Chain A
Amino acid sequence: EVQLVESGGDLVQPGGSLRLSCAASGFTFSDRLMHWVRQVPGEGLVWVSRINGDGSSTTYADSVKGRFTISRDNAKNTLYLQMNSLRVEDTAVYYCARHYVSGSYSVDSWGQGTLVTVSS
């Protein structure tokens, strides 16, 4: 069974930093492209970032480019999101998600999410 478990969400002040983790199990982690998607409670889904299987290619939404860094440790089956220069508008539940089959341009498994609150 595929499992994705996020952790690291917290209350942080504007301008602060946070690192989210996502522990993956139940599939060959290094074979799959992975994503981070966020959702303000009560609002819609927003794609944040993706990383390919070996970590050599990353892409970011314009709203987080230059502030967030996605990475992965395939030996530990773990996905990360380093979040710097946090803003109030970054407050959201952050989901890690597994890319579906190659070429599908979709995600088929999601974690339960971790809440990041940016507030003074």
Chain B
Amino acid sequence: QSALTQSPSASGSPGQSVTISCTGTSSDVGGYNCVSWYQQHPGKAPKLLIYEVTKRPSGVPDRFSGSKSGNTASLTVSGLQAEDEADYYCSSYAGSNSYVFGTGTKVSVL
């Protein structure tokens, strides 16, 4: 149950796109199409952005999109806005009813 690996930080200017990666193993990210992404602003609870690799819950803007290749999943935020500045976490099902989160990526809007 090792944490999924995310780059510590990413940044972009308003209107640009930023992509965050999440690397696991064949026992979690690579083994299931069960990757989720969460956004967390300081002092707040996380918010679900993406589930099952590519699906968005109702109310989440289509600026947020997810993908996966092998053991690495990615979240792309297009048309970056000031309110997108936050911490982002991936999560994956890891088999046997267990889950694992990523180490988190801090996104800054320049």
Which residues of the partner chain B approach A95 to less than 8 Å between Cβ atoms? 45-46
Q: Is B98 an interface residue (CB 8 A)?
A: yes
Question: How big is chain B's contact interface, by range?
Answer: 20 to 34
Taking CB atoms and an 8 Å cut-off, the chain B residues in 47-63 that contact chain A are 48, 51-52, 55, 57
Q: Complex formed: what's the CA distance from A46 to B1 in Å?
A: 10
Question: Closest approach, in angstroms, between the C-beta of B3 and any C-beta of chain A?
Answer: 7
Beyond A61-B1, A105-B93, A106-B91, whether A47 also contacts B48 by CB under 8 A is no
Q: Is the interface of A mostly helix, strand, loop or mixed?
A: loop
B residues neighboring A (CB under 8 Å): 1, 3, 32, 34, 36, 38, 40, 45-46, 48, 51-52, 55, 57, 89, 91-93, 96-104
Given A44-B103, A61-B1, A95-B45, 14 more A-B residue pairs with CB atoms under 8 Å apart are A44-B3, A45-B46, A45-B91, A45-B104, A57-B97, A95-B46, A100-B51, A104-B36, A104-B52, A105-B34, A105-B92, A105-B99, A108-B48, A112-B45
